[in-house]
């Protein structure tokens, strides 16, 4: 005979369950639960499908680390153009919004591509929160790695905000004050006060903030700090084929170190890794540079994959921001022989090169009278024409890859359609543990940001509300007045006054000074197109 549960007990249990659910609902965060602690996003800037195919053949047909992760295609167009610039393309990954050429994590003035909603007047040129900033707000460790200057378009997209990717002074200052745990790459020239328009010595600021500032691979390896800024060249790093390992770490080495440091955080981490100069080589139609840096990038992918497979709480995504160059294996010289050409037709000429076109420049003497010898020794080219010799002699400093890249391409029967970006869909690569469903099919580049947001349990909308409030409107609403002052060398400070209270907010920093007392904010102050945006916490200081 079954025992009956007393009705009073049933009512009590139901009430308890309902009450506990109400308590939980009230206490739950506005963000999703999240499925993993860590995301590593790797971006091989400007990498085309033919580039990966060529790199694989060059490597003897050995599969790339990326190959097992391939799962879909990504649309790359920007808010108002079919072919994207790196700044809005990277911003789409970082923020979940399409934007305009040159715009770094900032909404465009126009969004008129098919399927896009028009931009509201109040949202034009407004900074928007990045996945890195949202991760930081949630307590996660964050890092960026780049083989270009770290304030270049793609790394800037995740760490700073401006309608102009060329505004290195603003972008780099925001990066220094944005609380990133690990920054590895190049570009110390753009942080030295004597070389900046604003005369601000950002290297001193980095050190004062407690970072371990390192400039050699040995110092990087030896660092035990949880906060590292590593810059290994005055501007961009060398192509991997040209790199001196005693002076510059490789991309895989930097990725390994960053993961080692960031994974100490019990809350997890977000890391963005860019192989920047795949894009630069494609602009120059330099296949040797492309192969060099795709293979180096793929080593960084392997480091990330190895960690993720062991950790089982990490998603790894690899995706380029756009195509570049229109590289083809086969050119007009193979119109009638394409299916009869052995692999050696395309690969053997490339195997003879031991430097990229950029690295080759250092081997030429002052008057470039040794062109024939240098091209023979380092490129295996012994049939230079008189026009080719003259072209090498006349090439501008820093642009020799634009001259010799097409020369070796011709001998390897590699075609190019442009020296600019291209508008095709690009390959999406993702590794995820079993608890996460990978992105598949043909997706928008903005979906990458939304996917990362979901799997880490972040909320980009909430981050936007916390980080980017229109200062004039917000302070006026609470009865305060604002004035933007230039304290010299275009160092702008927003001064807010209410009664006896004065609040000073230096633009591009996370600093607030209220009646002389310094407070650190959770985000940076951004001045964009005649408007200043501040974290909500800055407004709260004066209420």
Catalytic residues: 86
The contacts of residue 370 (CB under 8 Å, 6+ apart) are: 363, 364
154 in a known ligand binding site: yes
Q: CA 157, CA 45: separation in Å to the nearest integer?
A: 13
Q: What is the sign, positive or negative, of the torsion defined by CA atoms of 23, 25, 26, 27?
A: positive
Q: Rounded to 5, what percent of the chain is helix, strand, coil?
A: 40, 20, 40
Helix (H) or strand (E) holding 485: strand 481-486
Task: Return phi, psi of residue 462, to 5°.
Answer: -65, -40
DSSP label at residue 334:
G
Query: Which residues 6+ apart lie within 8 Å of 59 measured at CB?
Result: 295
- Are 389 and 264 in contact by the 8 Å Cβ rule? The answer is no
How many CB atoms sit inside 10 A of residue 419's CB?
A: 15
The answer on whether 283 is annotated among ligand-binding residues is yes
Residues 6+ apart with CB under 8 A from 71: 428, 429, 430, 438, 439, 440
Our measurement of the distance from residue 218's CA atom to the centroid of its chain's CA atoms, rounded to an integer in Å, reads: 25
Residue 426, Cα to own-chain centre: how many angstroms?
17
Q: Which two tokens stand for residue 210?
A: 């407690």
Comparing CA positions, the residue from 252, 228, 44 lying closest to residue 141 is: 228
Closest by Cα among 480, 529, 488, 530 to 506:
488
102: left (phi over 0), alpha (psi -120 to 50) or beta: left
472 carries a ligand binding annotation = no
Cα–Cα distance, 452 to 269 (Å, whole number): 12
| Residue 274 marked in a binding site | yes
Is 149 annotated among the ligand-binding residues?
A: no
- Would you say 192 is a known binding-site residue? no
Counting Cα atoms < 13 Å in the Cβ hemisphere of 268 gives: 23
Lookup result for tokens 């195509």: 323
Question: The tokens of 436 are what?
Answer: 């996460």
Tell whether residue 161 is among the known ligand binding residues: no
- Between CA 447 and CA 351 the distance in angstroms is 39
Residue 374 in contact with residue 329, Cβ under 8 Å? no
Q: Which residues are annotated as a binding site for Zn(2+)?
A: 45, 279, 283, 321-322, 421
Q: Binding-site residues for Mg(2+), please?
A: 45, 152, 154, 274
Binding residues: 45, 152, 154, 274, 279, 283, 321-322, 421
């Amino acid at each position: 005979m079954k025992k009956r549960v007393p009705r009073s007990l049933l009512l009590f249990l139901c009430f308890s369950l309902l009450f506990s659910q109400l308590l939980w609902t009230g206490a739950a965060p506005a963000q999703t639960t999240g499925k993993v602690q860590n995301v590593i996003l790797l971006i091989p800037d400007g990498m085309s499908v033919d580039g990966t195919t060529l790199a694989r053949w060059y490597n003897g047909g050995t599969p790339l680390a990326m190959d097992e992760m391939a799962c879909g295609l990504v649309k790359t167009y920007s808010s108002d153009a079919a072919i994207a610039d790196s700044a809005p393309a990277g911003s789409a990954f970082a923020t979940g919004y399409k934007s305009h050429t040159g715009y770094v994590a900032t909404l465009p003035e126009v969004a008129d591509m098919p399927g896009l909603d028009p931009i509201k007047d109040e949202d034009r040129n407004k900074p928007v929160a990045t996945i890195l900033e949202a991760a930081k707000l949630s307590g996660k460790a964050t890092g960026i790695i780049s083989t270009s200057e770290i304030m270049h378009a793609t790394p800037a997209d995740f760490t700073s905000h401006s309608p102009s990717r060329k505004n290195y002074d603003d972008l780099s200052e925001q990066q220094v004050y944005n609380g990133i745990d690990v920054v590895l790459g190049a570009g110390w020239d753009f942080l030295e006060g004597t070389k900046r328009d604003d005369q601000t010595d950002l290297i001193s600021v980095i050190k004062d903030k407690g970072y371990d500032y390192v400039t050699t691979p040995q110092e990087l390896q030896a660092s035990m700090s949880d906060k590292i800024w590593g810059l290994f060249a005055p501007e961009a790093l060398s192509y991997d084929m040209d790199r001196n390992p005693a002076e510059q770490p490789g991309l895989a080495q930097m990725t390994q170190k960053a993961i080692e440091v960031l994974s100490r955080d019990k809350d997890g981490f977000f890391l963005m890794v860019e192989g920047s100069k795949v894009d630069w080589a494609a602009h120059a139609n330099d296949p040797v540079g492309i192969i060099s840096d795709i293979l180096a990038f793929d080593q960084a992918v392997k480091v990330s994959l190895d960690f993720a497979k062991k950790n089982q709480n990490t998603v790894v995504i690899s995706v380029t921001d756009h195509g570049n160059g229109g590289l083809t294996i086969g050119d007009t010289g193979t119109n009638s022989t394409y299916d009869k050409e052995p692999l050696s037709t395309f690969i053997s000429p490339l195997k003879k090169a031991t430097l990229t076109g950029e690295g080759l420049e250092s081997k030429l003497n002052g008057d470039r009278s040794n062109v024939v010898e240098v091209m023979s020794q380092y490129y295996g080219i012994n049939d230079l024409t008189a026009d080719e010799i003259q072209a090498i002699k006349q090439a501008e400093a820093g642009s020799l890859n634009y001259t010799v890249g097409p020369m070796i391409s011709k001998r390897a029967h590699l075609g190019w359609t442009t020296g600019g970006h291209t508008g095709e869909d690009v390959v999406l690569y993702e590794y995820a543990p079993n608890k996460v469903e990978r992105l598949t099919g043909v997706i928008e580049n903005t979906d990458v940001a939304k996917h990362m947001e979901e799997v880490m349990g972040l909320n980009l909308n909430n981050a936007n509300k916390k980080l980017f409030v229109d200062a004039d409107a917000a302070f006026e609403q609470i009865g305060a007045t604002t004035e933007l002052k230039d304290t010299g060398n275009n160092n702008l400070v927003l001064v807010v006054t209410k009664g006896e209270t004065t609040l000073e907010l230096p633009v591009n920093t996370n600093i607030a000074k209220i009646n002389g007392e310094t407070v650190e904010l959770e985000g940076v102050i951004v001045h964009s197109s005649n408007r200043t945006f501040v974290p909500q916490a800055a407004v709260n200081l004066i209420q």
